[in-house]
Amino acid sequence: WNESRFTDERKMFDYQEETVEDMIKNNDEGLKGQFLWLPVGTGKTKIVLTYLAHLKEKKQLPKYIIYTLPPESVMSIIEEVRMFGVQVNVMIPLKNITTKRKQYDKMKVSVTKGCEPKLYHINLILHDHLRYCPVDLPKYAGDSIIIFDEVHLFLNQSIRTGMGMNLSHLARAFISFTGTPVIDNKTEKLISWLEQIVPFEVNKRNFWVAANNMIAKKITTGIKTEHEDVVAPFTEKEQRKYQKYVPPAMGGSNTNPSSRDWMKAADVCYEACDRKMVDLTKKLLKKGRGVMIVTKDTNHQN
């Protein structure tokens, strides 16, 4: 077991090293943007921090590092950044940050009220807080490298996406990364990002040529994985509720379902799934098995 684990770790290390080398090559060729498409759990944050360390060594690191991310990633990113010995600052552009400040004080990181990043820190800011900085953040972009964690959240038409695109264009350099660059069949949403990582104009006809410039990698550790679909049946009460919300084509009685009806139907499905997940988890724990449960958000996790 120890030998196989060492081999897996060696593969992962080589994988991360190759990715950093690709990023360095792009930078040396004068490309402003980096777009990483890497699977979940393969060390995207470590790769980005290693690349930043290279820029620092070569005296190419801008004054400011701005790292925008979803709220559920903040605590883990802080821990990873601190392991690299880099100072962290959290930017919170809200009127009242007392509660948040206490939370981050426990993590021993500094907090800035507003949109002003700290020099030579990794400045974290939530995706949804970017919209509070439409004037201030762009002032620093020209002296910044901006990192977009989970960049697929910047693809749909929104204030967040508009702000993200503006910052990426103004930045000295940017790094965007995700494990899911394609979120629906409208792949053209990626064009605004792809055109910044290639030296030519991107359109629907040459889209895949540009997409080829994404740093996309896969890794196989040799660990066997088995997938099994498990049905979570409704109770009679849940069955009646579900049929009330969905159309006849889905076994229901609602001939004109609204968006609210669809959400209620989904909630009923989650109730059934949650019950099944808990049941399966108990059975596995009784067998002495470890279990990792994937949830849809923090509330679901709680």
CA 63, distance to chain mean position in Å, is 24
Closest CA to 31 of 175, 192, 216, 207: 175
In whole angstroms, give the CA distance from residue 277 to residue 63. 48
Among positive and negative, which fits the CA dihedral 252, 256, 260, 262? positive
Residue with tokens 């392991």: 83
Among positive and negative, which fits the CA dihedral 263, 265, 268, 269? negative
Residue with tokens 């700290």: 118
In whole angstroms, give the CA distance from residue 300 to residue 29. 45
pLDDT at 107: 78
Q: What DSSP element (H or E) covers 69?
A: strand 64-69
The 88-92 sheet, strands edge to edge: 110-113, 88-92, 122-126, 64-69, 144-149, 173-178, 33-37, 215-216
Q: What is the pLDDT along the chain (302 residues), one digit of tens a residue?
A: 344 444 566 677 787 888 899 999 999 999 899 999 987 777 888 899 999 999 999 999 999 999 999 988 888 899 888 888 889 999 999 888 877 777 787 777 889 899 999 998 999 999 999 999 999 999 999 999 999 999 999 988 888 889 999 999 999 999 999 988 887 888 888 999 999 999 889 998 899 899 888 988 777 667 778 899 999 999 999 999 999 999 999 999 999 999 999 999 999 999 999 999 999 999 999 999 889 998 888 888 88
In whole angstroms, give the CA distance from residue 89 to residue 122. 6
pLDDT at 221: 64
In whole angstroms, give the CA distance from residue 65 to residue 167. 12
pLDDT at 4: 47
> Which residues contact residue 27 at a Cβ distance below 8 angstroms, ignoring those fewer than 6 apart?
34, 55, 60, 173
pLDDT at 5: 45
In whole angstroms, give the CA distance from residue 103 to residue 296. 23
Q: Are 66 and 140 in contact (CB under 8 A)?
A: yes
pLDDT at 246: 95
CA 135, distance to chain mean position in Å, is 25
Four-point Cα dihedral 35, 144, 159, 212, nearest 10 = -10
The pTM of the full predicted model, rounded to 2 decimals, is: 0.73
Question: What is the DSSP annotation of 236-252?
Answer: HHHHHHHHHHS-GGGT-
pLDDT at 185: 80
In whole angstroms, give the CA distance from residue 276 to residue 232. 6
